[in-house]
Amino acid sequence: MALPVTVPIGAVSELSTFCGCTLMPADTVFHADVSTLPVLAKSDTWTDLLGGTLLAAWGGEPWMGVTAGMPVNVVGPDRPTETVIFNRGYSTSGPSIDSAPYAIPDYPLVEGMPGIPAWDRHLLVFQEGTCISQELYNVANGVEMPANSLADALGNAVYANLYGSAWIAEAGVRFDMSSPLYPAIGAANAARLPYLPLILRPDELERGSIDHMLGVTIAKDRGTGFTWPALAGDGTGTNPDGVPMGTVFRLRADFDVSDFDPATQVVLRALQQHGAVVYDSFNAGQDGMRLLAMSNGWTGTDYLTAQRELSTIPVGAFEAVDVLSIAADPSTGWMISSSA
């Protein structure tokens, strides 16, 4: 995939690739350098409200009894597509559902399975060649998913009887990683942001650099409303000073990273340069910001020291920054202005 010769100020000039694809163009907020953006007036209020620390766990570090992190499945460009049945939510159609066929591998990895409660059961499938990120929320399959309880096994039996081996989901979306424009329909998280450009990957720590914004989640009751680059939010907080979905937090420049493990430093430098965006929420009443990372692709307890060190970084070491000031056209996409 060809890279642009010039990019706006604030964007990176060379991008890493995943399965031969760049994950969103260079001139998008996902790759913006936010290190010099102004701090928002409510920054201290928001970090005080969130409290706690950064929370990091992936791969060989188990969390709640299963592999921590978000699994990413990969299929080739010729993988056959199949119809997903959207009936696990309140509606079988709507703005969160892209009903186009999805290319899904046999027996894919699903977030949280087979643990209990299995979290949100996201199913992410990246297609090589097309550079399409297919993202499904709250999936089930009566044949290809293991049961995590007796009740789940009974549910699988019902699904198998009704739908055979078809995949069932509550919501779904497909993102073209070569396009900065919002998808016409669909979502798989509260902010309606793509997962792949925000996820911490094993190859990045091996390479020693991260060229994109990272994703974080916060407690649902600490959030209120949303702001660009998010397109929606699910915060239940009634506090007018709640944190909007889409808020970008930057690790302060004066935070000394020099004494940390080299892998930890890679992540901390990315948080200083590209920041972390709030893209979803977790259970109410909990402190901190949970970092988005792949669950697969790591070996054993790879980077266990980094996970432990990152989980000591106080939220108070971050500041909320004004990314809306560099938005080129927030009504249509995630592009940043060439005059930023």
pLDDT tens readout for residues 121-153: 999 999 999 999 999 999 999 999 888 889 889
Whether residue 78 is predicted with pLDDT greater than 80 in this model: the reply is yes
Confidence (pLDDT) at 2: 27
Contact (CB, 8 A) for 162 and 132: no
* 203 and 338 share one domain: yes
Alpha-carbon span 214 to 217, nearest angstrom: 10
**Amino acid letter, 311:** S
> Which range marks the domain in which residue 111 is found?
71-194
Whether residue 47 is predicted with pLDDT greater than 90 in this model: the reply is yes
* 211 and 334 share one domain: yes
* 182 and 163 share one domain: yes
Whether residue 1 is predicted with pLDDT greater than 60 in this model: the reply is no
Q: In 95-242, where does DSSP find H-type helix? A: 150-163, 202-207
Burial class for 248, CB neighbours closer than 10 Å (0-12, 13-18, 19+): buried
For the chain, what is the mean pLDDT? Answer: 92
Contact (CB, 8 A) for 159 and 141: yes
Q: Is the pTM here over 0.85, yes or no?
A: yes
Contact (CB, 8 A) for 229 and 246: yes
* 200 and 63 share one domain: yes
Number of neighbouring beta carbons within 10 Å of residue 189: 26
Query: Secondary structure of the chain: what % helix, strand, coil (to 5)?
Result: 20, 25, 55
* 128 and 85 share one domain: yes
**Mean per-residue pLDDT, 317-338:** 97
Confidence (pLDDT) at 5: 27
Task: Quote the tokens at residue 37.
Answer: 């953006």
**Mean per-residue pLDDT, 45-58:** 97
Task: Quote the tokens at residue 307.
Answer: 């996970």
* 60 and 205 share one domain: yes
Q: In the chain, where does DSSP find H-type helix? A: 43-50, 150-163, 202-207, 262-273, 304-310
pLDDT tens digits, one per residue of 174-222: 999 999 999 999 999 999 999 999 999 999 999 999 999 999 999 999 9
Query: Does a cis peptide bond (omega within 30 degrees of 0) precede residue 101?
Result: no
* Most confident region among 22-36, 102-116, 134-148 by mean pLDDT: 22-36
* 187 and 270 share one domain: no
Alpha-carbon span 176 to 188, nearest angstrom: 14
* 240 and 316 share one domain: yes
Residue 65 or 178, more confident: 178
Whether residue 13 is predicted with pLDDT greater than 60 in this model: the reply is no
* 333 and 202 share one domain: yes
Domain boundary among 133, 167, 194: 194
Name which of 240, 271, 229 is nearest 253 in CA terms.
271
Domain boundary among 194, 221, 245: 194
Confidence (pLDDT) at 296: 92
Q: In 80-182, where does DSSP find H-type helix? A: 150-163
| Count of structural domains, the chain | 2
* 89 and 236 share one domain: no
Confidence (pLDDT) at 10: 44
Number of neighbouring beta carbons within 10 Å of residue 9: 13
Alpha-carbon span 88 to 263, nearest angstrom: 40
* 61 and 149 share one domain: no
Confidence (pLDDT) at 113: 84
Alpha-carbon span 36 to 178, nearest angstrom: 26
Contact (CB, 8 A) for 44 and 318: no
pLDDT classification of 76: cutoffs 50, 70, 90: very high
Whether residue 115 is predicted with pLDDT greater than 90 in this model: the reply is no
Domain boundary among 159, 194, 229: 194
* 65 and 79 share one domain: no
pLDDT classification of 12: cutoffs 50, 70, 90: very low
Give the H or E element holding residue 277. strand 276-282
pLDDT classification of 11: cutoffs 50, 70, 90: very low
pLDDT classification of 62: cutoffs 50, 70, 90: low
